Structure 1
């Protein structure tokens, strides 16, 4: 099967948002009047972002989910995406499953494939996603202000639990492991919550490299500091068996685990009811885990306010992860 046969069979679909579909050198997109385009790119590399044994349908889901999560953090509505796919060989069963998982999530969010590229090489998936947001209404990293409360959506640390099982450093009961593995391989982008938080949240980011590291981006962009309640963050870990883990490991998973693809955001205290209503409307749990402060730096405390003396390192592609 040649490159263009592969595209025709597995990735060519009707597209309404680009009049050219996937059959020309460029896709043509135009935001609606009064809207801005939101654009983000993410790359997934075998052995770095996913295991060679992953179900290809789950990989297709995750490849798009991590990009939709960026749109969610901006408060944007998904429109379309492009796909660049490097394959070591043409495996029809793999391609069928991968495209099925990819398009199931795309259809769920009304996000159309409008172009891309394929080539032979190490397995590598790169997606660029396009969304739209009302002009001036996008959620940014730079809006956090002293006195704001810090919130997180969904659950934290589950993907790191699964990773530790794969590494052989942790054992979980089968049901708990499967729950953690689903969170690792099938993250749910919080697109509806992101849109519901427009005009409510003062700053936002999606959690891809761990809460501590990603929060650092908000603090740097906003010129503020923060205090995070480690016990509050651990309390929203979704895998029940995690409660029996060593406290230091639980904190590592929740605060520096990575691969959560939840939203971390700030909002004024007066907006707490509106934040909870946004969570209710989007069917997404939200939890208050800290506060923004004028003093620079990040302080991590327990439920009693006692400082937590434990290093938390964010994920870095060019550093060795522990």
Structure 2
């Protein structure tokens, strides 16, 4: 798809925030990527324009029937000043899978990657260089047709916005506390739990609020049918180290196929570490804990990369993992992946792309 990406420069540029105040998702760059869709022209008018509010009709279908999807990835500043992307092709491919499931038009992947690269070239100075910081990238698509009938929209808007961020959790490798949710459910096989659509996250908020009230950082979801089998954490896929083996729930149609999850599995196998993707019940996890065989638990995701778990609470059974300390596998995985992302080690997997 040969489409020229037009660029309109912002008339006034923002002051860049200090690294110490970044947090997550609070600040946004000067420009964003935009593209529109209608049935006559398909995806068209790719452009980079000043970051500004959107104007949508109050009857736009996104507000009423939830056709909204998104992705999340990052750009990193290497010590030598280069800007690196980590496996963006996987995120773009997953975006198309999500669009297909949500009855929304898929996008030319090369065009979208080219648009992202051009946006990053313009906004290079927004990629922070302090340790642990990065530029978060949020592509998203929403239905824009003004209509109140229940059907797929006939028009859409795609945007990519950028946000300089610090660590997702305060104290990046400080173990988090996880509450195993046994009342609410997030997704079921045949639904949309395996894709990044906004409603998935809205459905998780009440349980997350409940967990926080109880003193926990995140929720671990169980399957919707039996409330027995482990699925994923609110913002992460989950891994267990049991008797030297790494176990993670298999992708079953209600679990997100995380890019970091895939990277971890590939990396562990390259180390010769046994990895099993299979259905695992929370009872099996608890029994392994009672036997002293549950050695580590960690989550994986774009935002946190690797997040060690120091405590699991299931039916008031408190499992303290590795004496609430970061385990050696969690630490090694975090170090190896972040060194790749920041260009500190040779990329033997071919995962990083430099922004020229």
**Bin of the TM-score, shorter chain as denominator length:** under 0.3
TM-score by structure 2 length?
A: 0.25
* The structure with more strand, counted as a fraction of residues: 2
TM-score by structure 1 length?
A: 0.27
Asked which structure has the greater CA Rg, the reply is 2
